Amino acid sequence: MNLKEMDLEYVLHTYSRNWVNFKKGKDSILYDEEGRDYIDFTSGIGVVSVGHGNERLARAICEQARDLIHISNLYLIEPQARLAKELVERSGYDMRVFFANSGAEANEGAIKIARKYGEVDGEIKRYKIVTLKHSFHGRTITALKATGQEAMHNYFGPFPDGFVYADEISAVENLLDEKTVAVMIELIQGEGGVEPQNIESVQKLSETLKKLDILLIVDEVQTGVYRTGEFLASNLYEIVPDIVTLAKGLGGGVPIGAVMTGLKDIFSPGDHGSTFGGNYLSSRAALEVIDILDSYKNSGALDGTISYFKESLDRLAAEFEDLFEKSVGVGLMRGLRLKDGDLLNRMVNAAFEEGVLVLKAGRGTLRFLPPLLISKEEIEEGMNRLKRALKRL
């Protein structure tokens, strides 16, 4: 039985896999079992923020694993406390942090915070949460219902009540009522087509919600930890959310999620918890990732990489103007919007055949989430391979 047969026989069929077996990675390049190399413009869907085989991260993980991998949250965890401090200080927000294992779990935590905030003396007063169509907040039952894509709601009901969807930011205010406790948004929708929200509209919404005592939850699972060029996209938008969620790039590949909130005393012991969340291994990995990216950002290198990647994509869009409508996105969370969305699957497959990994997203968008430390040489080679793939179409 070969590896593909083994996977098909024993693993639940929840993914449309490309049957390649990667054996090693270095920086922004992956190598399969036959030694063929691929330029990685996906970073494991925005996860491998400091690249594959990063020696500093690997050393930190190994050193931590030799001492302690896990105890439980019933005891003090030194790297967890240090990580919480780093997240709060880098965000610039007066918050406390809860650690989970994923973005979906982080968003579940955010929803629980909001729902508890809506209770008064144990009685539910406010519970409704407004999200956006085209949003994506995770795969758990509640996070799935928070997701504003109707196709995501097939098969798994009944869902928790209390979620309503606005077509766009400017329509959110029309849905607010006396039962609304929170609004939950992505500042740049990833799965929804790498679509940035309008800065002025977000700032106006933030001001309105504060006046109405309605919480603003910003899902930064994909945008956080320098993906947009700043530590948080919220910093870029110059707003102060009540709750922020993080995951993906925070651990550089080690699973970790985080909920940050200015409601510092909202939870009491027993209200929420996680067996694995923020354990020694994941917290130590995240500390190293943040330190690596801090240095990269402060040196000016990250801004240079963002500019170079954007310029490369813009040139590609101009060269293949018959295929692409426009270049979209912020930082190293970018996309090319197709004129004909039906070509998207063929485009991703053609790119793979030429040795470059890209993603697809909603609204007929070819999505790019490269490692933040990607080099100019890797960008150039990836773009050249992508050009060859596009010419085949």
Q: What pLDDT, in 10s, does the model give residues 6-52?
A: 999 999 999 999 999 999 999 999 999 999 999 999 999 999 999 99
Confidence of residue 393 (pLDDT cuts 50, 70, 90): confident
Task: State the chain's mean pLDDT as an integer.
Answer: 96
CA nearest to 207, candidates 172, 232, 231, 165 = 172
pLDDT at site 285? 98
Q: Find out whether 258 and 95 touch, Cβ atoms under 8 Å.
A: no
pLDDT at site 335? 97
Amino acid code (one letter) for 130: V
pLDDT at site 224? 98
Task: With residue 234 as reference, give the H or E element that holds it.
Answer: helix 233-237
On the question of pLDDT at 122 being above 90, the answer is: no
Q: What is the pLDDT of residues 314-328, one digit of tens each?
A: 999 999 999 999 999
pLDDT at site 121? 78
- CA distance linking residue 148 with residue 193, whole number of Å: 13
Q: How many residues does the chain have?
A: 393
> How much is the average pLDDT of 225-235?
98
Domain ranges of the chain: 57-296, 300-369+386-393
What's this model's pTM, rounded to 2 decimal places?
0.96
pLDDT at site 47? 98
Is domain 300-369+386-393 given the CATH code 3.90.1150.10 in the classification?
Answer: yes
> How much is the average pLDDT of 232-256?
98
Q: What is the pLDDT of residues 192-207, one digit of tens each?
A: 899 999 999 999 999 9
> How much is the average pLDDT of 47-63?
98
Confidence of residue 215 (pLDDT cuts 50, 70, 90): very high
On the question of pLDDT at 57 being above 90, the answer is: yes
pLDDT at site 3? 95
pLDDT at site 191? 87
> How much is the average pLDDT of 52-59?
98
Q: Find out whether 252 and 281 touch, Cβ atoms under 8 Å.
A: no
**C-alpha pair distances (Å), 145 with each of 138, 140, 220:** 9, 8, 18
Q: How many other CB atoms are there within 10 angstroms of residue 127's CB atom?
A: 19
Q: Where are the beta strands (DSSP E) in the chain?
A: 22-26, 29-32, 37-40, 96-100, 119-120, 123-124, 128-132, 163-166, 180-185, 188-189, 195-196, 215-219, 243-246, 257-261, 324-330, 333-338, 356-357, 359-361, 365-368
Confidence of residue 120 (pLDDT cuts 50, 70, 90): confident
Asked whether this chain's domains 57-296 and 300-369+386-393 adopt the same fold, the reply is: no
pLDDT-above-70 percentage for the chain: 100
On the question of pLDDT at 280 being above 90, the answer is: yes
Q: What is the pLDDT of residues 135-185, one digit of tens each?
A: 999 999 999 999 999 888 989 989 999 999 999 999 999 999 999 999 999
pLDDT at site 386? 98
One of 3.40.50.2000, 3.40.640.10, 3.60.20.10, 3.30.565.10 is the CATH number of 57-296, namely 3.40.640.10
- CA distance linking residue 11 with residue 157, whole number of Å: 24
- CA distance linking residue 102 with residue 107, whole number of Å: 9
